[in-house]
Structure 1
């Protein structure tokens, strides 16, 4: 009887896990559809301080936004990046706006363009307009690498930490991935945001349901022999 009870418990457990994965798949498909709609929507004004508390990844990430302000080029930060063009850096630059500051990921530069002097034409002065995708901060660092503000080594786009290191007060809790609008001199190169979501929930669900069937078969064998 103990084996039968165990087998029936496993049937219930694996079935529950399978149902959970089906629900997760539905959530993921809905998320993908919503993000696709945001990415292709007309740009909306970037959220100001009054809206920050209500921003979540579910309701705001990858929202297409626009904003105008002045780039603080002397406070840019290079964050290590790996893109379809190879290794290099993201150029994170604070943009001073009428309500505060927001960091803009202006795009990718290869190692030989690390120095601002090597891409001086792209250091835009005066009032500029930026259109891009709203992204959430990436605190801590990259895979197996922690950010080191003391050494100015950055492996993730940690907005709060970069703002502290650069003395930028009142920065928005998000950053904006600039779109592919050409920049004088060609660098930084924007528009390289990768929008993709892993969706293996159907495979997981089939695995759990398969284990539930095996457990059910085991329960039937135990019952027959008992």
Structure 2
């Protein structure tokens, strides 16, 4: 009678051989199904499933951590905005000349007395008019078209301090950048002025290099501006009350900061909820 005879191997995995006829008894020959290979495959598949299961769990965990981080960032940003607004609204103090004192006074108003030297005007461009009411009305809009122009930086000799500083008189449209087009706005004689202290800034990515030889400035490099105008590297933004008919529009200190953290919070927590539900349906609910 035909039968499958199995010979024991080194790994206990039987080798099947088909024979016919009578079989002599042999202790080394026995009939036994081989299950070692299938068990090994099942173990590998189970291990792979576990890796995928816990690996995918990292997605909702990561998005939850990012959402929580954005919550903390939003608290920090709101506190920073409130601090800037309180500094700008503080009572003006006399302008100090010490660099260490000036560093602590950024965004705080100071008062000076002296006169302008309009022959050495500098222009930071392109700039848009800072208008808090309009910006609040346009908040959330994807497209806005504010008028562009330049900020006029003018040397100002402080008669009480005996030094020349730089004053951002404010915004002018492109048509009014040439001082000959706004002669009525060129203040003559000594005046009292209140402005907000601003520090130098480094060039940001994608911002062009300043071109002093063409009087084209794209960011506040106070050291370079001071050398060109023979002034101290001190700059203040004149307040809105300094505006005169035909002259630059003062009050061009932007204290509002980008605060889009709530959108990020909703995005990350939304992804966390969605991926958590998908993970639950895939690996937990199917076990019930």
TM-score using structure 2 length: 0.65
Q: Which has the higher strand share?
A: 1
SS of equivalent residue, structure 2 residue 241: coil
State how 1:147-166 maps to structure 2 within 5 Å: 147-166=210-229
Tell me if structure 2 keeps the 8 A contact 1:66–1:131: yes
Between the two proteins, the alignment pairs up a number of residues equal to: 219
| Gap change, CA 1:221 and 1:141, over 3 Å in 2 | closer
Distance 1:86 1:202 in 2: 29
Report the alpha carbon displacement of residue 61 of structure 1 after superposing the two structures with TM: 4.0
| Gap change, CA 1:69 and 1:215, over 3 Å in 2 | same
Tell me if structure 2 keeps the 8 A contact 1:141–1:155: no
* Match 2:113 to one of 54, 57, 68: 68
Tell me if structure 2 keeps the 8 A contact 1:100–1:171: no
Tell me if structure 2 keeps the 8 A contact 1:142–1:155: no
Is residue 171 of structure 1 aligned with residue 217 of structure 2?
no
Per the alignment, residue 5 of structure 2 pairs with: none
| Gap change, CA 1:61 and 1:6, over 3 Å in 2 | farther
| Gap change, CA 1:101 and 1:8, over 3 Å in 2 | farther
Is residue 200 of structure 1 aligned with residue 200 of structure 2?
no
Distance 1:185 1:204 in 2: 44
Per the alignment, residue 82 of structure 1 pairs with: 128
Distance 1:126 1:141 in 2: 37
Is residue 218 of structure 1 aligned with residue 278 of structure 2?
yes
Report the alpha carbon displacement of residue 115 of structure 1 after superposing the two structures with TM: 3.2
| Gap change, CA 1:209 and 1:65, over 3 Å in 2 | same
SS of equivalent residue, structure 1 residue 186: coil
1:131-164: CA deviations, max 9, x gaps? 1222333433796533212322223333223223
Per the alignment, residue 103 of structure 1 pairs with: 166
Per the alignment, residue 98 of structure 2 pairs with: 49
SS of equivalent residue, structure 1 residue 94: strand
| Gap change, CA 1:129 and 1:36, over 3 Å in 2 | same
TM-score using structure 1 length: 0.80
Report the alpha carbon displacement of residue 179 of structure 1 after superposing the two structures with TM: 1.3
Tell me if structure 1 keeps the 8 A contact 2:150–2:173: yes
Report the alpha carbon displacement of residue 185 of structure 1 after superposing the two structures with TM: 4.7
Tell me if structure 2 keeps the 8 A contact 1:119–1:185: no
* Match 2:85 to one of 4, 18, 36: 36
Structure number with the bigger relative contact order (C-alpha 8 A, sep ≥ 6) is 1
1:19-41: CA deviations, max 9, x gaps? 11000110111112122222222
